[in-house]
Amino acid sequence: QVQLVESGGGSVQTGGSLSLSCIASGFQFGDYCVGWFRQAPGKEREVVATLGTGGGRTYYADSVQGRFTISQAGATINLQMDFLKPEDAGMYFCAAAHLPLKTLLLSRETRPPCGTGSGDYESWGQGTQVTVSS
């Protein structure tokens, strides 16, 4: 059973940094995409960044490109967030998606990028809150 546990949220001023972590268990790294999503009050959940585990590609939403970095260290998926803005505030969720067999049969270099819709991911953490004050 896949389990995802986020941590690292908190409150920071505009321009500050936070580092989120997601400890993943119950799956074979290399067979999954993982993603960080966020949801602000009254808004839809949106993708922030995705990563193909085991050395796959990364993707960043335009709004965070150049400021956020997603990475994997063992069983932990990290999201380093720098130069935070008030519009970055929200609940941040870690999510995992098992890749279909036809994708797993491809080399990591030729695999398509990870999905960016919340419906592409079947496992979710409980979320961690990020607050950015101006």
Q: What is the pLDDT of residues 76-134, one digit of tens each?
A: 999 999 999 999 999 999 999 999 999 999 888 888 889 999 999 999 999 999 999 98
70 falls in which pLDDT band (50, 70, 90)?
very high
Q: Is the pLDDT of residue 30 over 80?
A: yes
Q: Residue 67: count other Cβ atoms within 10 Å of its Cβ.
A: 15
Q: Is the pLDDT of residue 54 over 80?
A: no
- The C-alpha atoms of residue 37 and residue 70 are separated, in whole angstroms, by 12
